[in-house]
Amino acid sequence: MKVVRLSWQTNARWTMPNNEVAQWISRYVVETDNRTSIERLTLMVDEMILAVVPSLASDETMRAELHASTRAHWRGFYLALGRESFEPNPPAEALEWARTVARRGLDLGVLLKSYRIGQRALWEYLTRLLDDEIVDVELRSAVLREIWDRAAVWLDAAIEQVVITYSDEREQWRRGALARRVATVRSILRGDVIDVDHAAGELGHTLHLHQTAFVLWADDTTPDAAVTPALESLATHLARAVDGAPPLTMTSGARGLWVWVATTTSRYHDVYAEVQPSAAGIHIAAGSTGLGLKGFRRSHREALAAQRVAIESHSTAALTRYSDIELVCLVSGDGSLDMMRTLVERELRGLAGPDESNKRLRETALVFLTNGGDAAAAAATLALHPNTVRYRIRQAEQQMGHTIDERRAHVEIALRCAQTYSDFVLPDDR
């Protein structure tokens, strides 16, 4: 929030009138300047504020700091009122109260409402007091105008300063929180060892659930002013499409946004395809859904790879899914060992085990596919009986959970990756 800083410090000076009004105010200040009177006034205002803003009443720290701020305001106002030259000087306690409101993430409206209530309380107090103390109607009116005008100057100065203080503290808090969020996300993406619960708290995002990552970006056809609202709105719609919690988002540039959506299952992948950007020139790259921190990292890497393919191929599609262009990424060099590992783990499943039995089954399956699914030709290559080849293929299919002809291209590439890279792409627990 941008706050205009006014120079009330030099302009808001008030000279005490040299008449009966001034004498009455001076006498009143002397009589009021004691701990009991100030405390009574403070409690009156606090009770009115807490009645209107009940959320403050249940927090002892907030109540204590509100009380300190109110008391300091009364004390400071009456001291200034008794001086020959009236100069508003908002107390340090009031500024600290503003900082606390900002740190708690409360809206500025909470702070402003407390001052409006305080202003109303002062008016009610003054009118009752002067009705009781001054019989002369003209003098009573003159004193009320004089005190109220000065109170208005005090409140204007106080509100200006607390708004500036709140805004500065809020901005520092926002930057600090954002910096922590960015650092936490980057730590996860690097594969650092982290405290998952602490990281989830920093991010406000459940990390042990299934994670689907998206990269959202706007091309040059989208007006600059429309980019951020369109991307943030799209991120929200992606989460709502699967009844998920609010998404985790992180700005990737002036026209880009990284997004993660957490869900309890992985069955929603096709649902995301139904979400359409609300503005032209907005694009989505989606990674596959994965579980926990591992899924968080892998899905993000996949979304980035899908984005690269979409941009380099000049695709006009609103959505590019990594699952649709996975083989293109691998053969074009946009893949990585982690992406190969994901392919191997997903396509081969139990067949990706590191033991000798699975290694032998993988070798047989690859030779079988290389020979066009001809068991006799594969047997000749491996110096085995054709029935042995067929038996091993059935075992391999049991390990994979599907027939070897299902997603044949993906299975063959996964087998070749496993054969070439061996332990480097076989599943691990990272």
Please report whether residue 195 resides in a domain.
Answer: no
Please report whether residue 2 resides in a domain.
Answer: no
Residue 330 and residue 351 in one domain? no
Please report whether residue 282 resides in a domain.
Answer: yes
Residue 290 and residue 396 in one domain? no
- Residue by residue, what is the 3-state secondary structure of the chain? CCCCCCCHHHHCCEECCCCHHHHHHHHHHHHHCCHHHHHHHHHHHHHHHHHHCHHHCCCHHHHHHHHHHHHHHHHHHHHHHCCCEECCCCCHHHHHHHHHHHHCCCCHHHHHHHHHHHHHHHHHHHHHHHHHHCCCHHHHHHHHHHHHHHHHHHHHHHHHHHHHHHHHHHHHHHHHHHHHHHHHHHHHHHCCCCCHHHHHHHHCCCCCCEEEEEEEEECCCCCHHHHHHHHHHHHHHHHHHCCCCCCEEEEEECCEEEEEEEECCCCCCCHHHHCCCCCCCEEEEECCCEEHHHHHHHHHHHHHHHHHHHHHCCCCCCEEEHHHHHHHHHHCCCCCHHHHHHHHHHHHHHHHCCCHHHHHHHHHHHHHHHCCCCHHHHHHHHCCCHHHHHHHHHHHHHHHCCCCCCCHHHHHHHHHHHHHHHHHCCCCCC
Please report whether residue 186 resides in a domain.
Answer: no
Residue 32 and residue 165 in one domain? yes
Of 312, 335, 358, the last residue of a domain is 335
Residue 162 and residue 218 in one domain? no
Tokens 């993406």: give the residue.
Answer: 189
Residue 246 and residue 361 in one domain? no
Q: What would the two tokens of residue 385 be?
A: 């009986």
Residue 217 and residue 276 in one domain? yes
Please tell me the number of Cα atoms within 13 Å of 1 on its side-chain side. Answer: 15
Residue 235 and residue 375 in one domain? no
What is the identity of the amino acid at 76? G
Considering the entire predicted model, what is its pTM? 0.53
Length of the chain: 430
Please report whether residue 342 resides in a domain.
Answer: no
Tokens 């066009």: give the residue.
Answer: 372
User: Crossing angle of helices 356-370/408-421, nearest 10°?
Assistant: 130
Residue 121 and residue 205 in one domain? no
Of 335, 364, 386, the last residue of a domain is 335
Residue 165 and residue 139 in one domain? yes
pLDDT of residue 14: 47
Residue 287 and residue 362 in one domain? no
Cα–Cα distance between 90 and 69 in angstroms, integer?
10
Contacts of 194 (CB under 8 A, 6+ apart): 184, 187, 188, 293
Please report whether residue 29 resides in a domain.
Answer: yes
Query: Could you tell me how far CA 384 lies from the centroid of its own chain?
Result: 60
Residue 318 and residue 363 in one domain? no
Cα–Cα distance between 77 and 53 in angstroms, integer?
24
Of 127, 156, 174, the last residue of a domain is 174
Per-residue confidence in pLDDT tens, the chain, 430 aa:
333 333 334 344 444 455 788 888 888 777 766 667 788 888 888 888 888 887 777 666 778 788 889 999 988 888 888 777 778 888 988 998 898 888 877 889 989 999 999 888 888 888 888 888 888 888 888 888 888 888 889 999 999 999 999 999 888 877 888 888 889 999 999 999 999 999 999 999 999 999 999 999 988 888 888 888 999 999 999 999 888 889 999 988 778 899 999 999 887 767 777 777 877 789 999 999 999 999 999 999 999 888 888 887 788 889 999 988 887 777 666 666 777 788 888 889 899 988 899 999 999 999 999 999 999 999 999 999 999 999 999 999 999 999 998 888 889 888 888 887 777 778 764 4
Q: Residue 150 is part of a domain; what is its CATH number?
A: 1.10.490
Separation in Å, CA 117 to CA 22, 58, 120, 155, 313: 27, 19, 5, 12, 61
Please report whether residue 138 resides in a domain.
Answer: yes
Please tell me the total count of domains within the chain: 3
Cα–Cα distance between 159 and 153 in angstroms, integer?
10
Please report whether residue 371 resides in a domain.
Answer: yes
**Boundaries of domain holding 129:** 8-174
Residue 323 and residue 351 in one domain? no
pLDDT of residue 385: 94
CB distance 298 to 338 below 8 Å: yes
